[in-house]
Amino acid sequence: MTSVAVPAVAGVGPVRGYLDYYATAMRIGISTQFQYRVANYFFLVAHIAEPIIYLVVWSTVAIQQGGEVGGFTPNEFAAYYIVWTLVRTMNITSVGAWEGHIREGDLSRMLLHPIHPMHWDLSYFAGWKIVMIVLWLPIAALLSLLFRPAFHIEPIGVAVFGVAIWGAYFVRALMYSNLGLVAFWTTRLGPIVQVVMTFELLFSGRLVPLSLMPEWAQRVADVLPFKWTFGYPIEALIGQLPTSELLGGLAMQALWIAIFIIGIRLLWPVAVRRYAAVGG
């Protein structure tokens, strides 16, 4: 795996150094993943089956319920799940990054760099997203022709979505980065990840729009991070949220990003000491 170091240029502050690092790593991600565009396209197409199943099921339910269920018509379900494919493409992250770095020996090399290893995963995957968005566009066009989505797009919703979709990526990536630190203590990370992903499926808006969930489930979703990685950015674009909730959602994303950054800062020194002791 290619890596880069933080630029050490005279007169360049730490913020500029991080920006240069992210820009460089993203360029590496774009150039590398573009070489595997066919594999990436098949990867993307494989993810289409899940939302299409949800779309067909809930559109059928809406028709049987008189044309609407949970505030969604069949065409609005189409809009929801087509945007779902973009949001899902954006918030895919390596849930086993730390486990892989430890197992493959990459972490020892990464620790020699003057920057936290987490930044490589965040920036490289961010570059990969650019490639995936380009590949997603024709798929979205085809799905739109087949299912005729009904959007209620407002300029503020588009603007918020442009920020929220990246916020969703960083919330989810940092969440699983925190969870992945468990790999420093156990080689059985998979079962823990599966439990978290089950909660994510139920409380994120990934399985169904949260308005179709019971009231208690919606309240639980409001205080968990999952909603801000799926349901919130989707509903921001398709026009399901008032302005107060649009802006409030950005604040919640920022809050969770801050929480997970603090979590990594607290857990990382302990995890590295554990790694050094075992490695030694």
pLDDT single digits (tens) 75-119 = 999 999 999 999 999 988 877 677 777 777 777 788 877 788 888
* Mean pLDDT computed over 174-179: 91
What does the angle CA 222 – CA 62 – CA 248 come to, to the nearest 5 degrees? 20
Q: How far apart are CA 130 and CA 132, in angstroms?
A: 5
Structure-model confidence comparison of residues 280 and 26, the more confident one: 26
Q: What is the pLDDT of residue 238?
A: 93
- In the predicted model, is pLDDT for residue 239 greater than 70? yes
Is 58 strand, coil or helix?
A: helix
Which tens digits make up the pLDDT trace of 35-48?
A: 888 888 888 888 88
Between helix 97-104 and helix 155-180 the angle, nearest 10°, is 40
- In the predicted model, is pLDDT for residue 123 greater than 80? yes
H helix intervals, the chain: 14-34, 37-46, 49-64, 74-91, 97-104, 106-110, 118-147, 155-180, 189-203, 215-223, 231-238, 243-279
Q: What is the pLDDT of residue 13?
A: 57
User: Torsion angle, CA of 88/129/245/47, rounded to 10 degrees?
Assistant: -10
Lowest mean pLDDT among 2-6, 129-133, 179-183: 2-6
Q: pTM for the full model?
A: 0.86
User: Which amino acid belongs to residue 61?
Assistant: V
Contact at 8 Å (CB) between 233 and 161? yes
Domain residues of the chain, as ranges? 14-279
Contact at 8 Å (CB) between 161 and 237? yes
* Mean pLDDT computed over 17-45: 88
* Mean pLDDT computed over 257-263: 96
Which tens digits make up the pLDDT trace of 207-222?
A: 899 999 999 999 999 9
